[in-house]
Structure 1
Amino acid sequence: MAAGAVLLISGVHDEEPPRPSARASSTSAHPAPPPTVRPLPPADPDRIRIAAIGVDAPMTRVGLDATGALRTPPPEEPGLAGWYGDGIAPGSAGTAVVTGHVDTPAGDPGVFYDLGALTEGSTIEIHRADRRTAVFTVHAIELYDKEQFPSKKVYGSSGRPELRLITCGGGYTKDTGYLGNVVVYATLTSVT
C-alpha cells in the first residue's frame, strides 16, 4: 500500500446502531506462519467468501481519497467488499487490503458485520479474475482505536502473500461514529 496512507473508515448514523460482532476485543497479532505456497501473479479479485461468518460477496476496486485515506465501497452497497486496487492483489507477494462496511447508516448489517467474530484458523477465500481462489488462514484479529491506528503494522509487507480485512468497530458515539477499526490478519495457505 502507498506509504503514508491512513485508514479512515467511519460509520455515521442518525441513531445508535445495534452492537455488531466487530465489538470483539483484541486478539494479539502473532507473527504470520511460514508460507506454505508460492505467491500468485497479480490478478484482480472478484469475490470474497468467509464461511465462518456467512460472507459470500462481490468485490470492487477502491482507492485513496484526497487526504490519503482508504475509501470504502459506496455506503448504498453495504454488501460489497472493497479491494485497494492500487496495492497488492490478494495472493500475490505482499499485503493485500480489503475493506467493507460493518453496517449501514440505518444500522442494518454490512458485509463485515461479523468480522470481529472470526477466530484464529478461520479461512478466507478470494476468487480472482484468473479463475484461481487464494485461500488465506487467519492468524490474528485486532481492534485498534482510530486515533492510534498502526498503519505501518497493518499495511506493512513481509514480502509474503498476506491479507488484511478492515472494518469499523469498537465503541460508537452519535457525534463521531465508530471509534475503532477491526483488522483481521491472514496469510495465504493454499490455492485452488
Structure 2
Amino acid sequence: MTSASWRRWPFPLVIGTLLGVVLAAVLTACAVPPPGKVASPASPSTVSSVAEVPPLAPAKPARLEIPAIGVRTGEIVDLGLAGDGTLQVPRDAITTGWFTGGPAPGETGPAILAGHVDYKKVPGVFVRLKELKTGDEALVHRVDGSTAVFTVYAVERHSKASFPTEKVYGDTTGPELRLITCGGDFDSSTGNYLDNVIAYAKLVRA
C-alpha cells in the first residue's frame, strides 16, 4: 500500500445515542458506502450466546492482546474526527487506534479499535484479523489497571457497498468490541482495498 492510499480508509459510522446521525468515518483504503446503504442488524443466529457481563467504569484502553493471531500491541492511540468529519488514523503499520467518540472497551456499547492490514509494504497489526474464529479472545488492558476480556462471536468481510453500519456502530445492550481493518482485493489503480474485515466480540470477564 502506498503512503497516498493511507490518507483515505473510509467506512460509515453511527454513533448511536451519542449523536444519532450517520457520519463518514475514515480509515485506510476503503471507500464510503452511500448514506442509507447499510446491512440489516444481526439476525438471532449470528448473535453470540455468551451471557452479558456488567459494564466496567470508563477507562481508556492502553494495550491490546489477541493471542490467537499473535497481536500484542504497544500504546493504543486516540482517534477522533478530523475537520472534514473523517476518522483520524493510526500513524503506522503497528499502531492500533481507539475511536474516542464511542464507548471505551468495557463500557456498554460497541468500542471501536482500528488498525492497518498493511502500510508501506509493512504487515499491519491486524494483518491476520480475518483468521480469528468464534471463541478466540481479545484482551484490552486499560489505564486503570483492569483487563477487559472479550470473546469473538463473528468475523465478517463486507464490500464498501454493503458495510453493516448499524450492526458495527449501533447500540448494544452490553459491552462489546469491534476490531476493524481493510481486506479483500487491493485495487492498485485507486490505492484502495475493496472490503473491510470486522471482528465482533462480547465482554466475558474483567
Q: CA deviation at 1:87?
A: 1.2
What are structure 2's unaligned runs of at least 5 residues?
A: 1-14, 31-42
Which residues in structure 2 correspond to 1:115-154 (within 5 Å)? Answer: 115-154=129-168
Structure 1 residue 32, shift from structure 2 partner:
2.8
In structure 2, relative to structure 1, the CA distance for the partners of 1:70 and 1:147 (3 Å cut) is farther
- 1:86 positional shift: 1.9
Q: Summarize deviations over 1:142-170 as a string: whole Å, max 9, x none.
A: 10112321211110121210000000001
* Unaligned runs of at least 5 residues, structure 1: 13-27
Deviation (angstroms), 1:88 = 0.1
Identity in percent: 42
What CA distance in whole angstroms lies between the structure 2 residues aligned with 1:64 and 1:170?
Answer: 26
2:78 is aligned to 61
Residues 50 and 124 of structure 1 are in contact (CA less than 8 Å); yes or no, is this contact kept in structure 2?
A: yes
Deviations 1:52-90 (A, max 9, x none): 01101021110123343333201xx21110000121000
Structural mapping, 1:67-86, within 5 Å? 67-74=84-91, 77-86=92-101
CA RMSD of aligned residues (A): 1.8
Letter in 2 for 1:71: Q
Q: Equivalent of 2:105, from 90, 111, 114?
A: 90
Matched, 1:44 2:33: no
Report Cα offsets for 1:119-149 as digits up to 9, x if no partner: 1110000000110000000000010112321
Distance (Å, rounded) in 1 between the aligned partners of 2:49 and 2:88 = 29
Q: Is the 8 A contact 1:100 1:166 kept in 2?
A: yes
Give the SS at the match of 2:153: strand
Residue 180 of structure 1 is aligned with which of 186, 195, 198?
195
Residue-by-residue CA offset, 1:14-47 (whole Å, 9 max, x unaligned): xxxxxxxxxxxxxx98113343421101100010
Higher RCO structure (Cα 8 Å, ≥6 apart) = 1
Q: What is the one-letter code of the residue matched to 2:201?
A: A
| TM-score, normalised relative to structure 2 | 0.78
Question: Contact (CA 8 Å) 1:35, 1:160: kept in 2 or not?
Answer: no
Figure out how many residues of one structure are paired with residues of the other and give that number. 173
- The 8 Å contact of residues 5 and 151 in structure 1, kept in 2 or not, is answered as no
2:25·2:81 contact (CA, 8 Å) conserved in 1?
no
2:177 partner amino acid: L
Secondary structure of residue in 2 paired with 1:5: strand
Distance in 2 (CA, whole Å) between partners of 1:35 and 1:66 is 40
